[in-house]
């Protein structure tokens, strides 16, 4: 009986993200470890330019903390229609802190495929985690195109299986480097909350 309960508890599917379920949903944060920075990152009304080390060490942390500090604005619960979300961003924060600076700057959007995202997720340490993990994987912050691209990813944390992955773009807005790109993140969260969630539910939840 205990074994059966354990199997059932680990068999979460994409439907558990959209229907009433006992499966725990955790917010894993924003993975910037594969992001490409395109354009001039000094033109944000701040003194001095920002090098890649500063962006990694200060802003990757700042953007993740901002989501937790302002939950009404960056409404992860509302985005997923969940009454309770477990915040578990330590793993992603550790990954971000180890981001390789050498290839962070680019002239082109990498256009990560589903296989690329699968490879990134395969590197996550999901041991002792349960339920569904939800996060954004940043693809690019493109100053030239005034666009940020993030992949919304939902994971079965027992198996490491990706349950849902969608590539989304947002328009940055705001004063200062932190707020400018946080504006794009806000835009994407709002789009999921008002449009994408319904579309995904209709697609993945069949009668």
Three-state secondary structure along 115-174?
A: HHHHHHHHCCCCCCCCCEEEEEEEEEEECCCCEEEEEEEEEECCCCEEEEEEEEEECCCC
The answer as to whether 57 is a domain residue is yes
Whether residue 6 is predicted with pLDDT greater than 50 in this model: the reply is: no
User: 0.85 cut: is pTM over it?
Assistant: yes
The answer as to whether 15 is a domain residue is no
Q: Report the mean per-residue pLDDT for the chain.
A: 90
The answer as to whether 1 is a domain residue is no
Range of the domain at 162: 25-204
Query: In angstroms, what CA-CA distances link 22 with 8, 25, 28, 87?
Result: 11, 9, 19, 17
The answer as to whether 6 is a domain residue is no
pLDDT level of residue 12 (50, 70, 90 thresholds): confident
pLDDT at 190: 97
Can you tell me the mean pLDDT for 122-145? 96
The answer as to whether 18 is a domain residue is no
Model confidence pLDDT, tens digit, residues 20-56: 888 999 999 999 999 999 988 765 545 455 689 999 9
Model confidence pLDDT, tens digit, residues 140-197: 999 999 999 999 999 999 999 999 999 999 999 988 889 999 999 999 999 999 999 9
pLDDT level of residue 7 (50, 70, 90 thresholds): very low
Can you tell me the mean pLDDT for 90-119? 96
Backbone torsions φ then ψ of 170, nearest 5 degrees: -140, 150
Total number of domains in the chain = 1
The answer as to whether 17 is a domain residue is no
């Amino acid at each position: 009986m205990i074994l059966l309960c354990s199997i059932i508890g680990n068999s979460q599917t994409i439907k558990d993200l959209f229907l009433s379920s006992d499966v725990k949903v955790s917010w894993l944060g924003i993975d910037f470890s594969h992001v490409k920075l395109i354009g001039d990152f000094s033109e944000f009304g701040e003194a001095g330019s920002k090098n890649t080390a500063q962006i990694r060490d200060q802003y990757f942390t700042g953007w993740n903390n901002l989501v937790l500090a302002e939950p009404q604005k960056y409404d992860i619960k509302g985005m997923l229609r969940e009454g309770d979300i477990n915040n578990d961003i330590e793993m992603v924060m550790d990954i971000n802190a180890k981001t390789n600076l050498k290839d962070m700057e680019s002239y082109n959007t990498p256009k990560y495929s589903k296989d690329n995202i699968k490879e990134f997720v395969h590197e996550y340490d999901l041991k002792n985690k349960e339920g569904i993990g939800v996060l954004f994987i940043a693809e690019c912050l493109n100053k030239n195109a005034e666009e940020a691209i993030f992949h919304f990813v939902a994971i079965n944390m027992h198996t490491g299986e990706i349950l849902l992955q969608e590539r989304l773009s947002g328009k940055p807005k705001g004063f200062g480097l932190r707020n400018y790109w946080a504006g794009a993140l806000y835009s994407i969260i709002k789009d999921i909350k008002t449009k994408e969630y319904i579309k995904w539910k209709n697609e993945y939840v069949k009668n």
